Every structure is written in structure tokens, then in C-alpha cells.
């Protein structure tokens, strides 16, 4: 708390781990907290309220959160008035156990309770004590929450919450609940408002956007994408994540016919062996996925494809792993997020036979990354001398004289500063393609 010109200022530090859905939730938390007078700060010592919006998709994510919880204990000793809350997926998974383990936590709020945040904070301000609320009552989706966006030009818009797929390795369906789709008119209204406030790019978010609307049947994902594409003033429309099992031909045609829909699809394959895909409960086979990629590339010749891969799933043999490498060489993704399988208790894979030793997992991950990095580099090198439309994001972390931006295909571009400003769409010539970035010059 600070008193500036006789006015009391209170500050919140919001620490966010995990996926874009967590970033998006955090923006709604920040919006609500602003409505009761909390201003954002990045200086932990200054905060009156610290929130960690947590992830538990892998053990490493949880370890980071426990490390942070430990750090905050000292702050709380110095400043007992500090309010400390845990939200997000680990809050949902652990509930009260978090407070038993770390009694300096004041409250634990589950993933379905984002809209309750101000109430809980005010309750603790008034009477202290602990609050735990991780209930998953099936109620109407909360709408109309204020949102404090991190980036005004490129915005996240959640279109659905939860997941019904239960891939056997994954904790997300347990901590995010079943699929619930927002109404199309709510999504479109939010997009319109963001564009009115200056947004150029909108990314529609869901664990599996292709099953959008299966619950309310008011519109499917292709219909929604078309509605968003038609919002006046919008420049770019993106979406993630697409599950390969239900990416329809109607959707491919909608992307092709769209005016602002970016030619990038994040299409997690997870593995390249049918035996492993079956054990993962991914529903598709390597053959299905290959045919889907062929349909996508036939309709969208300039599309970039990215993916997620897991190595060391239980029972993965050297032969399965070779199939995965061969599949990568065949599909030639633009880039891939690669993960070591992490055992999540409560999921079916955690108790499967044939858990792969850590050493083997690490060794396979190295080999996998070497194959993918070479492909990413070759694909980027093919862009030497080409021109791309880039949305300027802001200064590069390493060099303030250089702008960061993204192509429509979601590739990171660095180019020296000119007159342009963040939020501008500019044309850049690619002069130095690398594995992770394209360096270029403004045209
Ligand atoms: N709904 C999205 C993203 C889920 S989490 C999707 O289905 O693609 C993001 C990625 O984390 C997943 O795609 C998967 O590759 C990875 N992941 C999930 N659970 C994991 C686990 N137990 N161990 C390692 N990686 C995991
Ligand atoms: Fe997890 Fe699978 Fe759902 Fe993605 S589709 S969130 S990997 S269960
Ligand atoms: Fe993590 Fe939850 Fe996202 S577990 S990946 S923050 S949905």
C-alpha cells in the first residue's frame, strides 16, 4: 500500500504459469481486481495481494509453483497484512491440501471460480482466515467479467472451457471440467469490443476448439470463426488448439475462404506410432492424421503447421520412437513443442506398465529435438528473400533497437526500428532466417 497525494493505492502482483487459457483467466482476474482498486505491480515487495495462477500439466510446472510459494513465505512474515492466493489448475487439483502444506496461503480458488475472486479477496480483507473454493457446480457460464488485457493489439478470447477427451496422460479434463462453450453472440460481442479498443489480432482459445458448440448447438466452430472473421476492423484471426480427431472439411473451407483467418494451424499429434496413439486415447491413427494434413495443405498451400509431441509415454519402445522420428520427417512441421512424459497421478497412464526410465526419455528428447530443429531451420531458410506481413508486437528483449513481430503464419520476426509502432502491420523482407526466428528489414 502507498499513499500518493493523499490517496491510498493498493497493488496486486499476478504470477502466471501454464497455457494461454491461464493467461486469459489472469486477465479477467486483473480486470476484477482493478474494479475493487488493486493496481498491477511487478515488484513483489510492494504488493498487498499476490496471486499465483498455477499449472499442473507436468510435474515440473508444479515444482516451479511450490518454489514460488516458498519464496512468498518470507514476504508474508515481513508483512502479515499481505493477502496470498492460489488460483488455476493446481488450486483445483490440490484444494485444501495446499493450505495444509503452506499455511501462509490465504485462499485457494478453483478454475471454475474465476468470477468469485473479488468476493473472496474482500472477505479476507474484512475478516482474514482461510477460504477454499474449488467447487464445480454446473451453472451458467459467467459472462461480463471485466478484463485487463496485457496486450491491446493482440488479444485472447476464450470460446470454451474444459475438455472431454481424457487423453490418458493428461490432467486437464480433471482440473478444468467438462466442455462448456460460450454463446456465439457473447464471443462476437467481446471481439467487437476488443477491436473497438484497438485490437488487430484475436486468438480464439479452447482446449479443443473443434468441438466448440457441441453442447449448445447454436453454432459450430467453423460458423463462429466466420462470424469473428466478419467483425469490422479485425485484421487477423487465430485459434488454438485444434484436436486432429474433429477438424472438419467445413473448417478447412472456412479458413480458406476467410479474409482475416491466419494460415497457421497448431495441430498436436503427440506421437507417430499407432500403438502409442491408441494407448494415449487420441482417437486418430497416423494414417488419419496424414490424410488430414494432405487435405489442409491442398486447400491452404502456404499454411504453417505446428505440433506438440510427448516422448517417453509408458510402453514407448525404440521402434515406436523411430516411427515418431520418421513421421516428423514426413510431415515437416514448422515447429514443435516437445515434452518429456510426466506422470500425473489419477490419470490412466500413471499406472500403465512400461514406464520409461528418465535417462531414456531425456536421450530420446535430445534426438527428437535435433530432428525437428533441422526441419524448422530448413523451412525457415526457404523463406530467405521473401516478404511477409508482420504485426509489430514491441521491442525485442535483447535489443531495444529491434522490433518483435509475427507473420500470419505465426513466425517470430525481428527487424530494426523505423517509424512504425506496436500494433502496426508492416511488410518485412526476410534476410536472415534462423531456426527460431526470421530476421529481416522493413520494406
Ligand atoms: N488441449 C491442448 C493442450 C493441452 S496441454 C491439446 O490437446 O493439444 C499442452 C500439451 O502438454 C499437450 O498437447 C501435450 O503435448 C502436453 N502434455 C499434456 N499432459 C502431459 C504429460 N502428462 N506429460 C507431458 N506432456 C503433457
Ligand atoms: Fe489434455 Fe487431450 Fe484434452 Fe488436450 S485434448 S487438454 S491433451 S485431454
Ligand atoms: Fe496447465 Fe491448466 Fe493450461 S494444467 S496447460 S494451465 S489448462
The DSSP string of 196-257 is HTT--EEEEE-TTGGGTTTTT-S--HHHHHHHHHTSTT--EEEEE---GGG--HHHHHHHHH
| 172 within ligand 2 shell (Cβ under 6 A) | yes
Residue 138 in domain: no
Residue 329 in domain: no
Distance 338 CA to ligand 1 centre (A): 10
The CATH code of the domain that includes 234 is 3.30.750.210
| 170 within ligand 2 shell (Cβ under 6 A) | yes
CA 129, CA 122: separation in Å to the nearest integer? Answer: 12
Residue 411 in domain: yes
CA 19, CA 170: separation in Å to the nearest integer? Answer: 14
Q: Are residues 192 and 125 in the same domain?
A: no
Closest listed residue to residue 428, CA positions, set 376, 397, 391: 391
| 210 within ligand 1 shell (Cβ under 6 A) | no
* CA of 61, closest atom in ligand 3: 1
Residue 163 in domain: yes
Residue 267 in domain: no
Scan for cell 499429434, then name that residue.
Answer: 269
8-state DSSP, 261: B
| 208 within ligand 2 shell (Cβ under 6 A) | yes
Given this model, what pLDDT does residue 1 score?
A: 76
| 209 within ligand 2 shell (Cβ under 6 A) | no
Q: Nearest residue CA, atom 3 of ligand 3? A: 19
Cα distances (angstroms) measured from residue 238 to each of 110, 263, 392: 28, 8, 16
Instruction: Evaluate whether 212 touches 181 at the Cβ level (below 8 Å).
Output: yes
* CA of 53, closest atom in ligand 3: 6
Query: Which of these three, 133, 165, 182, is where a domain ends?
Result: 133
Q: How far is CA 41 from the centre of its chain?
A: 23
Instruction: Evaluate whether 161 touches 205 at the Cβ level (below 8 Å).
Output: no
Count of CB atoms situated within 10 Å of the CB of 143: 11
Query: Which of these three, 228, 262, 296, is where a domain ends?
Result: 262
C-alpha cell at 369: 529435438
Closest listed residue to residue 218, CA positions, set 182, 267, 172: 182
C-alpha cell at 335: 515447429
Closest listed residue to residue 440, CA positions, set 405, 410, 393, 409: 405
Task: Considering every ligand atom shown, identify the ligand nearest to the alpha carbon of residue 338 and give its number.
Answer: 1
| 242 within ligand 2 shell (Cβ under 6 A) | no
Q: Are residues 22 and 125 in the same domain?
A: yes
Strand, coil or helix: 407: strand
The CATH code of the domain that includes 412 is 2.40.50.140
C-alpha cell at 375: 526441419
| 313 within ligand 1 shell (Cβ under 6 A) | no
| 89 within ligand 2 shell (Cβ under 6 A) | no
CA 350, CA 344: separation in Å to the nearest integer? Answer: 6
| 58 within ligand 2 shell (Cβ under 6 A) | no
- The residues near 440 (Cβ < 8 Å, ≥ 6 apart) are 388, 390, 413, 414, 415, 428, 429, 430, 431, 432
Given this model, what pLDDT does residue 6 score?
A: 77
Given this model, what pLDDT does residue 138 score?
A: 67
- Spell out the per-residue pLDDT of the chain, length 443, in tens: 777 777 778 999 999 999 999 999 999 999 999 999 999 998 878 899 999 999 999 999 999 999 999 999 999 999 989 999 999 999 999 999 999 999 999 999 999 999 999 999 999 998 878 888 888 876 778 898 999 999 999 999 999 999 999 999 999 999 999 999 999 999 999 999 999 999 999 999 999 999 999 999 999 999 999 999 999 999 999 999 999 998 999 999 999 999 999 999 999 999 999 999 999 999 999 999 999 999 999 999 999 999 999 999 999 999 999 999 999 999 999 999 999 999 999 999 999 999 999 999 999 999 999 999 999 999 999 999 999 999 999 998 888 889 999 999 999 999 998 889 999 999 999 999 999 999 999 99
* CA of 240, closest atom in ligand 1: 2
Q: Nearest residue CA, atom 13 of ligand 1? A: 308
Distance 153 CA to ligand 1 centre (A): 28
CA 150, CA 30: separation in Å to the nearest integer? Answer: 10
Q: What is the domain count for the chain?
A: 3
Instruction: Evaluate whether 442 touches 428 at the Cβ level (below 8 Å).
Output: yes
Distance 31 CA to ligand 1 centre (A): 28
Instruction: Evaluate whether 256 touches 295 at the Cβ level (below 8 Å).
Output: no
Given this model, what pLDDT does residue 140 score?
A: 78
Distance 260 CA to ligand 2 centre (A): 27
Residue 347 in domain: no
Q: Nearest residue CA, atom 1 of ligand 3? A: 55
CA 396, CA 402: separation in Å to the nearest integer? Answer: 6
Q: Are residues 10 and 120 in the same domain?
A: yes
Q: Are residues 174 and 55 in the same domain?
A: no
CA 25, CA 206: separation in Å to the nearest integer? Answer: 12
Given this model, what pLDDT does residue 278 score?
A: 98
Q: Which of 170, 265, 311, 346 to mutate to test the pocket of ligand 1 (most atoms within 8 A of CB)?
A: 170
Q: Nearest residue CA, atom 11 of ligand 1? A: 57
Distance 171 CA to ligand 1 centre (A): 9
> Could you list the residue range(s) of the whole structural domain that residue 23 is in?
2-133
Task: Considering every ligand atom shown, identify the ligand nearest to the alpha carbon of residue 206 and give its number.
Answer: 1
Query: Which of these three, 211, 232, 262, is where a domain ends?
Result: 262
Q: Nearest residue CA, atom 1 of ligand 1? A: 207
The CATH code of the domain that includes 116 is 3.40.50.12160
Q: Nearest residue CA, atom 19 of ligand 1? A: 170
Amino acid at each position: 500500500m502507498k499513499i500518493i497525494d493523499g490517496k491510498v493505492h493498493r497493488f496486486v502482483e499476478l504470477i502466471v504459469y501454464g497455457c494461454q487459457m491461464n493467461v486469459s483467466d489472469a486477465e479477467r482476474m486483473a480486470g476484477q481486481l482493478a474494479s475493487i482498486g488493486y493496481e498491477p505491480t511487478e515488484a513483489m515487495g510492494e504488493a498487498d495481494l499476490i496471486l499465483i495462477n498455477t499449472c499442473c500439466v507436468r510435474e515440473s510446472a508444479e515444482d516451479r509453483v511450490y518454489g514460488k510459494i516458498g519464496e512468498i513465505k518470507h514476504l508474508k512474515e515481513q508483512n502479515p497484512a499481505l493477502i496470498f492466493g492460489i488460483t488455476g489448475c493446481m488450486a483445483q487439483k490440490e484444494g485444501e491440501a495446499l493450505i495444509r502444506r503452506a499455511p501462509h496461503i490465504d485462499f485457494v480458488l478453483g478454475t471454475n471460480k474465476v468470477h468469485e475472486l473479488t468476493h473472496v479477496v474482500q472477505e479476507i480483507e474484512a475478516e482474514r482466515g482461510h477460504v477454499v473454493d474449488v467447487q464445480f457446480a454446473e451453472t451458467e457460464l459467467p459472462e461480463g467479467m471485466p478484463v485487463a488485457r496485457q496486450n491491446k493489439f493482440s488479444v485472447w478470447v476464450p470460446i470454451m472451457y474444459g475438455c472431454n477427451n481424457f487423453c490418458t496422460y493428461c490432467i486437464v479434463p480433471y482440473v478444468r471440467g467438462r466442455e462448456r462453450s460460450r454463446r456465439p453472440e457473447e464471443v462476437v460481442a467481446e471481439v467487437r469490443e476488443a477491436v473497438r479498443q484497438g485490437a488487430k489480432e484475436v486468438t480464439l482459445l479452447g482446449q479443443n476448439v473443434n468441438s466448440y458448440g457441441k453442447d449448445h448447438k447454436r453454432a459450430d466452430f467453423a460458423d463462429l470463426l466466420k462470424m469473428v472473421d466478419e467483425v469490422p476492423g479485425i485484421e487477423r484471426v487465430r485459434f488454438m488448439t485444434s484436436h486432429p480427431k474433429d477438424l472438419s472439411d467445413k473448417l478447412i473451407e472456412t479458413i480458406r475462404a476467410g479474409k482475416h483467418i491466419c494460415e497457421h494451424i497448431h495441430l498436436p499429434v503427440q506421437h507417430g506410432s499407432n500403438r502409442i496413439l491408441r494407448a494415449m486415447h487420441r482417437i486418430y491413427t497416423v494414417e488419419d492424421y496424414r490424410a488430414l494434413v494432405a487435405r489442409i495443405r491442398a486447400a491452404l498451400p502456404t499454411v504453417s503447421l505446428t505440433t506438440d509431441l510427448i516422448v517417453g509415454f509408458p510402453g514407448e519402445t525404440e521402434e515406436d520412437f523411430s516411427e515418431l522420428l520418421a513421421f516428423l520427417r514426413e510431415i515437416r512441421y514448422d515447429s514443435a513443442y516437445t515434452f518429456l512424459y510426466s506422470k500425473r497421478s489419477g490419470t490412466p497412464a500413471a499406472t500403465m506398465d512400461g514406464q520409461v526410465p528418465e535417462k531414456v526419455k531425456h536421450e530420446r528428447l535430445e534426438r527428437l529435438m535435433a530432428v525437428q530443429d533441422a526441419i524448422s531451420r530448413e523451412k525457415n531458410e526457404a523463406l530467405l528473400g521473401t516478404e511477409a506481413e508482420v504485426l509489430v508486437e514491441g521491442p525485442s528483449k535483447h535489443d531495444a533497437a529491434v522490433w518483435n513481430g509475427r507473420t500470419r503464419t505465426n513466425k517470430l520476426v525481428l527487424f530494426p526500428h523505423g517509424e512504425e509502432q506496436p500494433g502496426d502491420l508492416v511488410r518485412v523482407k526476410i534476410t536472415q532466417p534462423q531456426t527460431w526466428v526470421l530476421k529481416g528489414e522493413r520494406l
